[in-house]
Amino acid sequence: MAIDLHYWPTPNGKKISIYLEEAGLAYCVIPVNIGRGEQFEPSFLALSPNNRIPAIVDHEPADGGAPVTVFESGAILMYLAEKTGILWPRKPRARTRMTEWLMWQMGGLGPMMAQANHFRVYAKGKSAYGEERYTREVGRLFRVLDGRLAEAPYLAGDYSIADVASYPWALGAERVGVDLRHFPHAQRWLDRIGARPAAQRGMAVGEELGAPVMDDEARTLRLSLS
């Protein structure tokens, strides 16, 4: 297979499985059980020094040289989209719009939802301040998302990797206290992407690995990492 996808079925992992399905690229899933600490294995750290999934190894890079490894989901999406031209706006202005929203997801929506989830689920009851702060910030980000999607069908105008990055996160809105009934444009965008067979296939990758673990061992590991 041309691409190894080091993966666990979380929103950041699913960004890449959705993209690979959208682009029709051949890939091989290599599970990294982050609930059990496999992200700290030296072999994985060699690919992803920040001990986080996803990471890829492209065995057939465009320059024909040695395999290319990429960590950070935004960097992976940019690498793959630049290589294939798929969901990658060609015109510089459109590409700038796409980059804005991709960075918004990478620096805003993803981390803030992860923090909200941390305080509401893993550290439940430990910090009302943290829970409230990140829940409020996620609400603000959904207002921004809904506002953008009121003026355009997709974040960069046309469907792009910015949507692929935001979609699996936005799907988890309810879990972090967001009521999507207040964000009708975001809901329609979710429905539009959710109707795409490639997005459905990408979201299903790794289903057999089970829901993310939330037992005492996983909770302790998660708290010790924060």
Ligand X SMILES: N[C@@H](CCC(=O)N[C@@H](CS)C(=O)NCC(=O)O)C(=O)O
Q: Please tell me the distance from the alpha carbon of residue 220 to that of residue 224, in angstroms, as a whole number.
A: 6
DSSP-H helix ranges across the chain: 11-23, 42-45, 73-84, 92-104, 110-117, 128-151, 161-170, 184-194, 197-204, 216-225
Q: Any idea which residue has 């959705």 for tokens?
A: 18
As measured in angstroms, the least distance from the Cβ of 3 to ligand X is: 16
As measured in angstroms, the least distance from the Cβ of 132 to ligand X is: 22
Q: Which is nearer to ligand X, 51 or 84 (CB)?
A: 51
Q: Please tell me the distance from the alpha carbon of residue 68 to that of residue 119, in angstroms, as a whole number.
A: 36
As measured in angstroms, the least distance from the Cβ of 19 to ligand X is: 13
Q: Please tell me the distance from the alpha carbon of residue 226 to that of residue 221, in angstroms, as a whole number.
A: 9
Q: Which is nearer to ligand X, 25 or 109 (CB)?
A: 109
Q: Which is nearer to ligand X, 52 or 97 (CB)?
A: 52
Q: Is 70 helix (H, G, I), strand (E, B) or coil?
A: strand
Q: Please tell me the distance from the alpha carbon of residue 39 to that of residue 172, in angstroms, as a whole number.
A: 23
- Following DSSP, what letter does each residue of 133-167 receive, concatenated? HHHHHHHHHHHHHHHHHHH-SBTBBB--HHHHHHH
Q: Which is nearer to ligand X, 79 or 152 (CB)?
A: 79
State the residues that interact with ligand X by CB under 6 A. 10-12, 34, 39, 51-54, 72-74, 225
As measured in angstroms, the least distance from the Cβ of 59 to ligand X is: 20
As measured in angstroms, the least distance from the Cβ of 68 to ligand X is: 16
Q: With contact defined as beta carbons under 8 Å apart, do 158 and 89 qualify?
A: yes
Q: Which is nearer to ligand X, 62 or 225 (CB)?
A: 225
Q: Which is nearer to ligand X, 73 or 160 (CB)?
A: 73
Q: What is the DSSP letter of 213?
A: P
As measured in angstroms, the least distance from the Cβ of 14 to ligand X is: 9
Q: Please tell me the distance from the alpha carbon of residue 130 to that of residue 176, in angstroms, as a whole number.
A: 13
As measured in angstroms, the least distance from the Cβ of 79 to ligand X is: 12
Q: Which is nearer to ligand X, 106 or 178 (CB)?
A: 106
